[in-house]
Structure formats: C-alpha cells, structure tokens
Amino acid sequence: MSAKPFRNSEGVNRPFRSPFSSSRNNNTENNVSTPESNIHKSLLRVSVSQRLLFQTPPTKKFRLTEGNEETKIDVERNIKLCQDDLALLKKQIQKKQESINNLKTTLLYKKKNKAEDLETAIKKWTDACQNALKDYENDLQNRNGQSVNMTEILSSFGIKPNTVRFCTNDDTFY
C-alpha cells in the first residue's frame, strides 16, 4: 500500500491529524476536541523525552540603545588591545625560541668537543709545530751554514711566540 491515498479513495478528503494530538479511541464523535482537552490529553500521553525534545529555549531580546553602542566601541578597543598583546607575545616567543636554539647548539658543541679532548689536541699540535720549527732551523743551518735564531724564523712566518709556546728570553720552548 502506498502512503498517499488515491484520488477517489475514502481518505482523500479527510483532514490531517497529528499522531501526537489524536485520541486513542476510534470514535469519530470524539474527533472534534477542544484545545484545552487536547492539550491535557497530549501532555499525559507524550513522554518526558519527547517533551524535552520539542521544547524551544527562550530567546533573549536585545534592545539597541546608546549604551549598547558604547559596549560595541569598548569591545572593539579590547579586540585591538588583544591583537597588540598577541603580536607582542609572538615576538617574545620568537626571541625565546632563538635563544633556546642558540643554547642548544652551544650545548651540542660542548658535548661534541669536550675540554679534555681539546686540551690534548692543542698539546699534540703545538708539539708538532715546535718539532717542525726545530727541524727547519737545523735544515737552514746545514744548507746555508749560517746560524738563524728561532725568533727570526717566527717573525718571518708571522707567528706569535706565545702561540707555539716559545720564550723569547731563553730562546726555548716551554
């Protein structure tokens, strides 16, 4: 059966009745009911969940007055202040992130290059440099037959005596 009645069927000219407000008895005499009795019967028959489902919440009505315009202006000022504060906070966050990144890199370098390892490497390279300078001095004396001072060699190469740990007073390495 279709939900729609046919053109010439019995239910064509019947008025629509809601299933929530109709009575349970099939008497056609009671179909015409007063609104008061209909409300009373429907409230009894409708469950609590259905009542809560079909209730509409009360709506607030706002009046447009001069005071309302003042609050709009205050809201706009607050929004502008909040945006300025937000921009300031973003700048501070960027500065903090940069300082955190710098601290992380220095920590990484400290972990990677330990002080003890660095000291041993410096000692190793200064010893190698001192040995190379002594060999160069001996080689110059053997080839040319002239005596050359270590201070003259260091000045010709532009090396400061402190970097290779050379004492100019004693002409020795320390």
Return the closest-CA partner of residue 137 out of 126, 155, 153: 153
Give Cα 111 to chain centroid, integer Å: 28
pLDDT of residue 129: 92
Rounded-to-integer distance, Cα 173 and Cα 151, Å: 11
Q: How many CA atoms lie within 13 A of 60 on its CB side?
A: 3
pLDDT of residue 58: 66
pLDDT of residue 29: 47
pLDDT of residue 93: 96
* pTM reported for the whole predicted model: 0.36
Rounded-to-integer distance, Cα 94 and Cα 55, Å: 51
Cβ(44)–Cβ(23) below 8 Å = no
Q: H helices within 55-169, ranges in order?
A: 66-112, 115-144, 150-157
Taking the chain (174 residues) in consecutive chunks of 10 residues, what is each chunk's mean pLDDT? 62 73 52 49 58 67 60 78 88 96 91 78 92 90 83 89 87 83
Rounded-to-integer distance, Cα 53 and Cα 48, Å: 9
pLDDT of residue 103: 96
pLDDT of residue 127: 93
